[in-house]
Amino acid sequence: MRTSVIVTALGPDRHGLLAAVATTVANQNANVDDVSQTVSNGMFTMIMFVSFDETETTLADLQATLAHTGEEIGLQIIVQHEDIFRFMHRV
């Protein structure tokens, strides 16, 4: 079964942030389906749509691995199941 999640990241901008997050996602056998990033006033913000097969990785593993990557590169990274993200951000 395929699972879709939303990865959000926020922190001071520097070179290689998107690459580091995308590499972590790929190393977890997950796929970056879409990504949007913005840098404003020196702050990096990103929303990444990620999907994975639950036989390849789990939401918990992806969350833990991306949290670790975030600590290493100075970003706050949050991973939410797509359904929860959509529910929280509905108008």
Per-residue pLDDT tens digits for 14-73: 999 999 999 999 999 999 999 999 999 999 999 999 999 999 999 999 999 999 999 999
pLDDT band of residue 90 (cuts 50, 70, 90) is low
CATH number for domain 2-88, candidates 3.40.710.10, 3.30.70.260, 3.40.50.620, 3.20.20.70:
3.30.70.260
| The pair of three-digit structure tokens given for residue 50, joined into one six-digit string | 């990620």
Give the pLDDT confidence score for residue 89 in this predicted structure: 59
Give the pLDDT confidence score for residue 81 in this predicted structure: 86
Give the closest residue to 29 by CA, choosing from 62, 71, 66, 1: 62
Give the closest residue to 50 by CA, choosing from 67, 26, 72, 71: 26
Q: Cα–Cα distance between 48 and 17 in angstroms, integer? A: 12
| The pair of three-digit structure tokens given for residue 24, joined into one six-digit string | 């972590």
How much is the pTM? 0.87
| The pair of three-digit structure tokens given for residue 84, joined into one six-digit string | 């929860």
